[in-house]
Amino acid sequence: MNNPQFLLPNAVMDLVLQLLFTGIGIGAVYALVALGFVLIFRATNVVNFAQGEFSMVAAYLMVVFAVDLGWPYWLSFLLSLAGMALLGAIFNLGVYYPLRHRSFLPVIIATIGASILLANSVLAIYGPQPQVLEGWFETPGIQLGPVYLDSQYLLIIAVTIVMVAFNYWFFEHTMLGKKLQATSQDKEMASLLGISVSTMIMITFIYSAVLGGLAGILVAPVLFVSIQMGSTIALKAFAATIIGGFGDVAGAIIGGLALGIIETFGAAYISVPYKDGFAFLVLVLFLVFRPQGIFGERVAEKA
Amino acid sequence: MKFTRRDFTAGLAVGITAPYVIGSARAQGATIKLGMCAPVTGPAAESGGYAVKGARIALEAVNKAGGILGKQAELIVEDDQTTNPGIVLAFSKLAAESDIVAFLGSIRSTQVHAMAPDVLKLGKPVMIGGTDPNLTHMGNQWLFRFRPNDSYSGRVIADYGFNTLGKKKWAVLHSTDAFGTAGGKALGAALEKLGSPAILDQGYANQSQDFTPVVLAIKQSGADILGSYFTYENDIGIFARQLRQLGVNIPWVGSPSITNITALKLAGPALYGTFGVADYAEESSEASKAFGKAYRDVVKVAPDNQSSWPYDAINVLAAAINKAGSTEPAKIREAILATRKFPGAEGEYNFDQNGDGLHGYNIVKNEKGTIVFDKHIEFTD
């Protein structure tokens, strides 16, 4: 094991900055996927276990449009997101809607079933070969003093910041956002006030699928496009939502970033093989000592 | 095409009678059956497909040349899902078919370990590609290896880097699964024997999404050469890119996965200039060239070790059963162990009493994405 503590202060600082950048980058990916988890949970009280597969499907759509068909990157990007919106709508109608009056358990099992169906459909159509998707920028990255900034990670961080701002504006300052919030808080009351609950839930699924897809497309150039890419990210994102406080948008973002940073520093300073362990160790600690998460409230009542 | 009622009835009739027809064929023992566990799904599904194709190409040639014991041979493939529970399940399904005479196991050591107790219980020969040296040294007489084991790859990596490239400050990077741990240990031991123990021994867990801490550890260690044992191509791809991005350009000699075509596709230029030990190198012998041609004709991509070892396994196995003149497990075992100077795609097979068929490796270089044969290093001890 290499112990960087023994190095000169300057070198330590460089190391810390490099690790911090990587941690924030990978954490931003978790945060984006976690956001999708949270939105669906708030609207339906159900954890959508196919959220990771949304990311995977979007990455494959990107490969189909941008690589196989050779269409421009921005057009492929828009088409992929449109495809995800469609998938979100189908998912709502096929998986959630028929079971909406049942308890949360059948719905959760249905989402697990849907995730297996999605993964194996892509496997059947596209085959098991991992694919390469180029990043958005020609330059792979920038050398900023001692720290190398990967351009794709920079993009991921920027998009996450934009999405956080957008979510805040959308949910707090638009009528649609407020309707969505009202639906997630109390469906009965919302429908008494003339809000179409099923439309709101439809919008939530579409938006979550697009968000998950966005994360998948952004991370594909870094992690490659493979059938498993969704499930590995989703597991961490799920942990991030619990750490942040299930059902809390800010919590999902903070939880995702915290997880990314903790596992990166844990790997560098304690143990590389146990990198994934740190994420879940933190998760367990939270479940034991603060089950409602950083920002959460009354989780016990919901669960 | 229209689907008429008559088609439906005919289909139904065939569907109902098929099991009986097939059953009666089985009863007559019309074919010699060989079982194969391969990843049809899971992280290694792509290379699993290559493995099955390699085996089928060999089987077709064997059948054309008269088959096994005068009968046509048949390959039955079960999906091992690239997991340990998966291969245990797949093998138990195959083992339940009592007329299967021999099996092909996995190229992954960890999976071979998982299935090994069942192999011992069944008592029939299983050909393997896993390269953990222990597999043939743990008292399981039914495992036969068709790739050189890691005690050789470790020695070849150390020998090449130390003697040919003249590098003394080694960083050793390995996966923490059975394959990677055994490989890392073998390389470490070989370096110690050369009087140049590794200055960094770093493990990593499979399917990592980020290797920044690993790259920084290598950078800080001041190593002037890197030896690696990677299990999955995704991991090599991500690591190789981050290694180059963070400015590490020391020579890199890797285990066979560094030269496989999926890794080359994913990592692209990040792997240019690296060296790898390869059990299969197309230019290394006449038999290797012949396999390469046959494989390219059928599959249309370059062959690699994923497909060459099952190809050799089927060929050696067919020859051994023919020589034994029987499908009795003990006789097949004797005949395989007696195999000498058998020209295979991977090299010349000379089985030792442990069940290891090969005892050396090729060193290849990645020249702008093309794998070029450099030299063969063989050990006799």
Residue-range domains of chain B with CATH: 30-148+284-350 (3.40.50.2300), 151-278+363-378 (3.40.50.2300)
Instruction: Look at residue A302 in the predicted model and tell me its pLDDT.
Output: 44
Measure CB to CB from residue A2 to each of B43, B200, B262 and give the nearest one.
B200
pLDDT in tens, chain B (381 residues): 456 666 666 665 656 655 555 544 444 568 999 999 999 988 788 889 999 999 999 999 999 999 999 999 999 999 999 999 999 999 999 999 999 999 999 999 999 999 999 999 999 999 999 988 899 999 999 999 999 988 888 999 999 999 999 999 999 999 998 889 988 999 999 999 999 999 999 999 888 888 999 999 999 899 999 999 998 888 999 999 999 988 899 999 999 889 887 888 899 899 999 999 988 888 888 999 999 999 999 998 888 889 999 999 999 999 999 999 999 999 999 999 999 999 999 999 999 999 999 998 899 999 998 888 998 888 877
Judge: A22–B205 Cβ closer than 8 Å, yes or no.
Answer: no
Distance CA B31, CA B74 (A): 6
The residue-averaged pLDDT of A59-86 equals: 94
Query: What is the least distance, in Å, from the CA of B127 to any CA of chain A?
Result: 25
Q: At what angle do helices A197-223 and A9-44 cross, to 10 degrees?
A: 150
Task: Work out the number of other CB atoms within 10 angstroms of the CB of residue A104.
Answer: 15
Distance CA B62, CA A131 (A): 35
Q: Of all residues in chain A, what percent carry a pLDDT higher than 70? A: 94
Highest mean pLDDT among A125-129, A296-300, B283-287, B376-380: B283-287
The residue-averaged pLDDT of A51-76 equals: 93
Query: What is the least distance, in Å, from the CA of B233 to any CA of chain A?
Result: 9
Nearest alpha-carbon partner for B53 in B362, B297, B371, B347? B297
Q: Could you tell me if A19 lies within 8 Å of chain B, comparing CB atoms?
A: yes
Judge: B262–A129 Cβ closer than 8 Å, yes or no.
Answer: yes
Question: Could you give the C-alpha distances from B105 to A58, B31, B260, B338, B345, in angstroms and in order?
Answer: 35, 21, 20, 21, 18
- Domain holding A120, by residue range, is 4-302
Query: Is residue A1 very low, low, confident or very high in pLDDT (cuts 50, 70, 90)?
Result: very low
Q: Which two tokens stand for residue B347?
A: 């090299």
Judge: B216–A132 Cβ closer than 8 Å, yes or no.
Answer: no
Domains identified in chain A, total number: 1
Instruction: Look at residue A301 in the predicted model and tell me its pLDDT.
Output: 46
Q: Please determine, for residue A10, whether its predicted confidence score (pLDDT) is greater than 80.
A: no
Q: Could you tell me if B67 lies within 8 Å of chain A, comparing CB atoms?
A: no
pLDDT digits over B73-112, tens only? 999 999 999 999 999 999 999 999 999 999 999 999 999 9
For β-strands A141-144 and B200-204, DSSP reports them as unpaired
For β-strands A147-150 and A141-144, DSSP reports them as antiparallel
What CATH number is given to the structural domain containing A239? 1.10.3470
Instruction: Look at residue B25 in the predicted model and tell me its pLDDT.
Output: 47
Nearest alpha-carbon partner for B246 in A197, A12, A140, A165? A140
Instruction: Look at residue A273 in the predicted model and tell me its pLDDT.
Output: 85
A258 contact partners, CB below 8 Å, separation of at least 6 = A27, A240, A243, A244, A282
Q: Could you tell me if A130 lies within 8 Å of chain B, comparing CB atoms?
A: yes
Instruction: For residue A24, give the chain B residue with the closest CA.
Output: B210
Predicted-assembly ipTM surpassing the 0.95 threshold: no
What is the average pLDDT value for chain A, to the nearest integer?
A: 86
B243 contact partners, CB below 8 Å, separation of at least 6 = B211, B215, B218, B252, B270
Instruction: Look at residue B288 in the predicted model and tell me its pLDDT.
Output: 92
Q: At what angle do helices B84-95 and B109-122 cross, to 10 degrees?
A: 30
Q: What string of H, E and C letters represents the secondary structure of chain B?
A: CCCCHHHHHHHHHHHHHHHHHHHHHHHHCCEEEEEEEECCCCCCHHHHHHHHHHHHHHHHHHHHCCCECCEEEEEEEEECCCCHHHHHHHHHHHHCCCCEEEEECCCCHHHHHHHHHHHHHHCCCEEECCCCHHHHCCCCCCEEECCCCHHHHHHHHHHHHHHHCCCCCEEEEEECCHHHHHHHHHHHHHHHHCCCCCCEEEEECCCCCCCHHHHHHHHHHCCCEEEEECCCHHHHHHHHHHHHHCCCCCCEEECHHHHCHHHHHHHHHHHCCCEEEECCCCCCCHHHHHHHHHHHHHHCCCCCHHHHHHHHHHHHHHHHHHHHCCCCHHHHHHHHHCCCCEECCCCEECCCCCCECCCEEEEEEEECCEEEEEEEEECCC
Judge: B266–A275 Cβ closer than 8 Å, yes or no.
Answer: no
Question: Could you give the C-alpha distances from A197 to A44, A105, A110, in angstroms and in order?
Answer: 10, 20, 21
Measure CB to CB from residue A132 to each of B205, B209, B266 and give the nearest one.
B266
Distance CA A72, CA B202 (A): 41
Distance CA A28, CA A164 (A): 11
Instruction: Look at residue A272 in the predicted model and tell me its pLDDT.
Output: 85
Q: Could you tell me if B238 lies within 8 Å of chain A, comparing CB atoms?
A: yes
Q: Please determine, for residue A261, whether its predicted confidence score (pLDDT) is greater than 80.
A: yes
Q: Which amino acid is at A6?
A: F
Query: What is the least distance, in Å, from the CA of A54 to any CA of chain B?
Result: 18
Judge: A128–B207 Cβ closer than 8 Å, yes or no.
Answer: no
Is residue B39 within 8 Å of residue B81, measured between CB atoms?
yes
Judge: B202–A272 Cβ closer than 8 Å, yes or no.
Answer: yes
Judge: A2–B265 Cβ closer than 8 Å, yes or no.
Answer: no
